[in-house]
Structure 1
């Protein structure tokens, strides 16, 4: 199994399988995007994606190579009920769809920042776009690194070669296919991910003696008694209520602010189709995320019952290790193809979002009279540029960007989610509140992280800080308080009235909710605003109290 003991003995098998998947993705991209002629085609696939395809694409975009090479390792090392975090993540698309996705689709938005521009003005949208470009690059960088590491450690290809080859290939097919190609490829990738993760896991469980091997995500109960004998506290909730609550502002609100997820809702063929797609999303993602937990369970089971420990350095390769131990090499090669597909699916969404943010939310905003042909050309260039930047950063990645993909959720939660959610549902929200929330909230979140000023952190606990849990719990309330309070105060300052567009804002909100007439009483509740402010103050106060993990 190679020099390090965890490689394919014949890496040619893996190379051939991965090469065939890339060939498939290129063919699909070419066929899907041949008729693309407008910005709407490029970023929203013409708004014609069906519910099933869109649901698979949504799930695939939310997957990442960390599902195969990362999360299972965390479960192995930490032995915690990681499924709690999965529950928060699975809520992403349903919450986006219900809270604002269908409303923004009704207005014809390409990205959430598009709505911010219409709702709060150009300056607020550029601030939000810059923050979101940073978040998307952090995401894309993580996937690029994961793909290169997969090539290096599992296929015997040097990291630099794997990074360049993998980067060029993915940039090529994503740029060629636009949103239409990315969507169709993402749907195919989700099928590959599901089959190449769940089916081999069933074979692993069968080899371990589990009778529920035919549906691994749920039927591992007969293995539990043995596990509890070996690791009595495996299923215990080892952390405080505060730790688990902190997942909500960090990951749930963070998911609401991620443009590459919201953009999937805008591709739906109808509002009804968008709602149906979220059901397929939750179903498919639930199966794979549950299986991920079981793969981690199986890894702990393997190490504790066979006496074959897996080093901390190799923990990220747990999925591959179990397949090398219990399955044949050609099956492991298919699993590697699934891992690469998981990275590609997320990466394609990141690059499309970067392209839209640069070309539509910044350049086209500053130069609104660009011709459609120029906008489309600029979009392709922006998509490719985002990929090139990710590859270049991955040559010698800063530690901060490598470890902070989940931390990026918190940045989206602080700078993007409050502006969108409040802007959709509360007419009083204005540009002054939005700018204050995004800029101050974003800066404070970065300052209290362990990556910029290590001595200024909220909890002082490496894991909560690194994942952005403590920082988000501290700053998401700040963003909501600033947005609501500053908006309320400035709306009542006579000198600022000429800078506000209350009538246009009210009309926009009514229109995106499907109303034909404006009713001043709708979406204008001060009771709800007060409840949010009071609740935010309570969470903020809780966040600065000591963390007893």
Structure 2
């Protein structure tokens, strides 16, 4: 079972499915967003989304097209160690709610950068917003690549044509629908993603001899003895403990800084609804993420026992290849709908985040007297041009489409997450520390990545560097250290003390945690800050040591 050109023999089936999918999403988006008259309506859907809808939308936003294309390529390459990487991704949105989402929702923020502006001032918020625009574009880039690959591989359309046509269709859909349309569509997309991933996977498992095919997310485990016999090294933890630890700063902390994920918390109708949405999110995300790992597992099993050959250049297409080999073409066409739904849901969040960052966190900050109508128009324009930028960057894509996505996680963890986490939980954090952390940490992360200065990397291990694991393990702790140390020092410098709004910061921190009385001892522990600095220093030093993979 070899294939140089994995695609549908009858592209019309795929085109019909794709056309109907886009038609549905355009109609839902238009109807949902037709009453949007303000920036709040555009970016948080009026902040009145119910728990079930919001939970499904959160899961769909986080799912991304990489669930269908890209993740299985990493499973082919990493095998069982990928499950630990996958677990870190699953933790993200519940941690967002626990660590700072509820506090920022109580504050009434549009985005994490809104909090940074109120907490640290205009300069820090603009720096953070610029980095977050880069993060969102890089994250969107992976989705655009996936959409183009889907059209190219399955429909016989050239990559460039698929990129431009598919990309513009998606950008138009998101621009028209706004957050209200994106949220309602994302809930629908989540059902499509789950159905079109798990059901075809069950048929594939049955075809390769799996007796637990009727519930793939868990019962693929019945194939473990056969896998052990055919490929004993599959379950080996072939990397060092340092590699597994590096996943935490790169992906867990990185995900805490992703603006499009945090924005979902702000769409909830209440704090209770935001928390309830986590139950729905965790359930559906766990179901599909488990199935994703099962798909990768079955793909490795098929290459080891069924004579299936997947060239390295086709690794991103493993999910589609398995469906083309083991399922009828009309099933593969439905899988296309699931893949496109996954890309649409995540791109919606990315481009809405770009719109909010540009129009609300930069322009409206610099021009606070801008009219509501002008701000709304600017938001639509920002969403559109953010999508166009992603299309242009996807013309020369990285080898694995998931690389740009995971690299963006690390940059968010360096430039955004520390400012929010420390800002919410430590009153002494100030604008000088925030700016130092974002600028130095962000530039360091970019410099040590293999994409800018290939000769300045920490490990020389292409996969580790490309995914941002090594860079994040160094830059994230340095960002935390700079934020705490610079804030602590500048708070005690007489020449700067009059430039710091310490009392205002204190009152803000108390208020977002729900306190009505202000007490100086809350959220001001020097011991806790000191422990954090010591721990981060140890991690940064460890990151500089040789990596024994």
TM-score norm. by structure 1 comes to: 0.98
State the Cα distance separating 1:90 from its structure 2 match.
0.7
Partner in structure 2 of residue 77 of structure 1: 77
In the aligned structure 2, how far is the partner of 1:199 from the partner of 1:399?
29
Partner in structure 2 of residue 15 of structure 1: 15
Q: Secondary structure at the match of 2:235?
A: coil
1:352 counterpart = 2:348: no
Partner in structure 1 of residue 32 of structure 2: 32
In the aligned structure 2, how far is the partner of 1:363 from the partner of 1:393?
24
Query: 2:316, 2:401 within 8 Å by CA — same for their partners in 1?
Result: no
Query: 1:83, 1:290 within 8 Å by CA — same for their partners in 2?
Result: no
Partner in structure 1 of residue 489 of structure 2: 489
Where does the alignment leave 5 or more consecutive residues of structure 1 unmatched? none
1:478-522 CA-to-partner distances (Å, cap 9, x unmatched) read 111111011011001111011100111111111111111211111
State the Cα distance separating 1:97 from its structure 2 match.
0.5
Query: 1:138, 1:401 within 8 Å by CA — same for their partners in 2?
Result: no
Partner in structure 2 of residue 318 of structure 1: 318
Partner in structure 2 of residue 195 of structure 1: 195
1:86 counterpart = 2:86: yes
Partner in structure 1 of residue 245 of structure 2: 245
Q: Secondary structure at the match of 1:470?
A: helix
Partner in structure 2 of residue 475 of structure 1: 475
Partner in structure 2 of residue 185 of structure 1: 185
State the Cα distance separating 1:85 from its structure 2 match.
1.1
Q: 1:119 to 1:323 in 2, by over 3 A?
A: same
In the aligned structure 2, how far is the partner of 1:401 from the partner of 1:530?
39
Partner in structure 1 of residue 449 of structure 2: 449
Partner in structure 1 of residue 127 of structure 2: 127
Q: Comparing 121-130 with 538-547, which one deviates more in the overlay?
A: 538-547
Partner in structure 1 of residue 110 of structure 2: 110
Partner in structure 2 of residue 382 of structure 1: 382
State the Cα distance separating 1:401 from its structure 2 match.
9.1
State the Cα distance separating 1:227 from its structure 2 match.
0.8
Matches within 5 A, 1:275-314: 275-314=275-314
State the Cα distance separating 1:398 from its structure 2 match.
7.0
In the aligned structure 1, how far is the partner of 2:65 from the partner of 2:468?
20
State the Cα distance separating 1:403 from its structure 2 match.
3.6
In the aligned structure 2, how far is the partner of 1:448 from the partner of 1:343?
29
Q: Secondary structure at the match of 2:232?
A: coil
1:466 counterpart = 2:466: yes
TM-score norm. by structure 2 comes to: 0.98
Cα root mean square deviation, aligned: 1.5
Query: 2:202, 2:216 within 8 Å by CA — same for their partners in 1?
Result: yes
1:213 counterpart = 2:213: yes
Query: 2:200, 2:323 within 8 Å by CA — same for their partners in 1?
Result: yes
State the Cα distance separating 1:456 from its structure 2 match.
1.5
Q: 1:146 to 1:401 in 2, by over 3 A?
A: closer
Query: 1:110, 1:266 within 8 Å by CA — same for their partners in 2?
Result: yes
In the aligned structure 1, how far is the partner of 2:502 from the partner of 2:399?
45
State the Cα distance separating 1:140 from its structure 2 match.
1.2
State the Cα distance separating 1:3 from its structure 2 match.
8.0
Q: Secondary structure at the match of 1:234?
A: helix
State the Cα distance separating 1:21 from its structure 2 match.
0.6
Partner in structure 2 of residue 498 of structure 1: 498
Q: Comparing 56-65 with 160-169, which one deviates more in the overlay?
A: 160-169
1:275-324 CA-to-partner distances (Å, cap 9, x unmatched) read 11112111111111111111111111111112232211222111111111
Partner in structure 2 of residue 154 of structure 1: 154
Query: 2:5, 2:153 within 8 Å by CA — same for their partners in 1?
Result: no
Where does the alignment leave 5 or more consecutive residues of structure 2 unmatched? none
Q: Comparing 387-396 with 480-489, which one deviates more in the overlay?
A: 387-396
Q: How many residues align?
A: 549
In the aligned structure 1, how far is the partner of 2:469 from the partner of 2:396?
27
In the aligned structure 1, how far is the partner of 2:97 from the partner of 2:47?
15
1:300-354 CA-to-partner distances (Å, cap 9, x unmatched) read 1111112232211222111111111111111010001111111111111100000
Q: Secondary structure at the match of 1:242?
A: helix
State the Cα distance separating 1:203 from its structure 2 match.
0.8
